[in-house]
Structure 1
Amino acid sequence: MKKNSIAVLRVSLGLVVWFLITMAFSRILVHKLPEGIPDIVILILSSMIVPYTLGLAGFLAVTGRMEKVMPKAEIPVTSALLLKSLIIQLGLSIPVITVINIIIRMLGGNVGSSMSADLFGKNWLFYAALLLVFNPIFEELLFRKMILERLLILGSKEVIIISAIFFAIPHAISQGIPQMFGTFIVALVWGYIRIKTGKLWPCMILHGLFNLFCGYIITVLSGNPEGAVAVMFIFMIFLPVLSVFLLVRSRNFGREKQSVA
């Protein structure tokens, strides 16, 4: 028990160091840079380079000598598994994000800034690369590989939940409370896939698809009344119902498999 608590504490401290270095540059040190540096260079430094050079070095300085356990594959990666995981992550996370957004607005609170202007603005190519390629690769390397492998000694269920919490908290600070709950849900799915398949690349694909749907597809479809209705039906009714069905079916199948064994 003491060993497990120390492991969680060290990873927590490493993640805090990583986040503080990242935030220190993007919110403080970036203003110390010489004038005339193009905005795109600053974006690349603050969103890509610093978090995964200096920030990652800080994380490894705290956790580098920790014992690591590699997940052993229990199930194969199939197109059916990826499709089911995509449906579940979208069907559960998007309604939660939407409902919490509505509640906070009704209470007069601030739900955080929208990224739609950035996604379709002058630096749209940078944000497309960031959300669809860079973040899915490097965030998964940090959260579903480095962090998960250092905490797997706690047990599969425990590490899935704890790593999802670690993933969600920074999103609360950078994107708001609704996004925190949404990213917690999808991180549960990605952690499960990582544990069960022993592979990291499916998590990267699911991560990129989540960003694609939440950042681009829903925004584009919601641009007109007909599209908004379609979004409401697909992401607030159809996919949530289908997600619950798939989860219940998978749970029942698992019980039947155990009883047969």
Structure 2
Amino acid sequence: MNLKSARVILTGASGGIGSATALALAQSEAQLLLVDRQAEGLQQLANRLRAEGAQAHAYPADLTRGADRQAVIEHAGRVLGGIDLLINNAGLLHFNPFEEEEPQAIERLLNVNVVAPILLARAVLPLMQRQGRGRVVNIGSIFGSIGFPYFASYSASKFALRGFSEALRRELAGSGVGVTYIAPRATRTPLNRSALNRMNEALKVAMDPPERVAAAVVDAVRRDRDEVYLGWPESLFVRLNGLLPRLVDGALRRQHREMRSYATQG
């Protein structure tokens, strides 16, 4: 896809990966509708991009609400004149023992990470099919291919998003509408609790800056890529987990006690 003048909805736009992606898209001369629950940070981002010459509009919304999702689509039609690209980036992250997670928190995470992106894709799909082109990009995680202890709800949500992306891509083959699934590894964003950052440091887990993920998103869209897994050896572990999951079980078991010590903090 040529991003120059492409009409883009970007969710979770004021977060770490979201704001970096917004900047990368603006540098590619895309037209942006930035969506997030955080109205103040969202407006600041839009103002910054406009000051740099970009076409960027802020639209605060709670994407777990059907009325807000529909309002986003309608607003995109008004200010952008259509939709060429939907980037489902909004998400929540839980790092806890599963038995300590509140049911309401689990439900909200699944609504934000799974239900909202699926229903947003459903809303934009007829528009893209009528114009015979478009792309849906779903931001997943390495944890959507490898189930990690103390990330049970989060892993479940990203497994679901990966399966949805694969199924929809196959369904839309030949339609002109593509589906991309991007799986970052650990990334330095405000979503991370301090205990998670400390655990990653203790276990020597590599953490990417949000800008690396943003660059991968832009590159994937330009090249019409179906799937992108970021990081080495994480992308290798994805393959190993698919072929020889018991090997990965053993590796994670050796780290289990240390991981739990961080997961139970605060």
With normalisation by structure 2, the TM-score equals 0.30
Bigger fraction of residues in strand: 2
Bigger fraction of residues in helix: 1
> Relative contact order (alpha carbons < 8 A, sep ≥ 6): 1 or 2 greater?
1
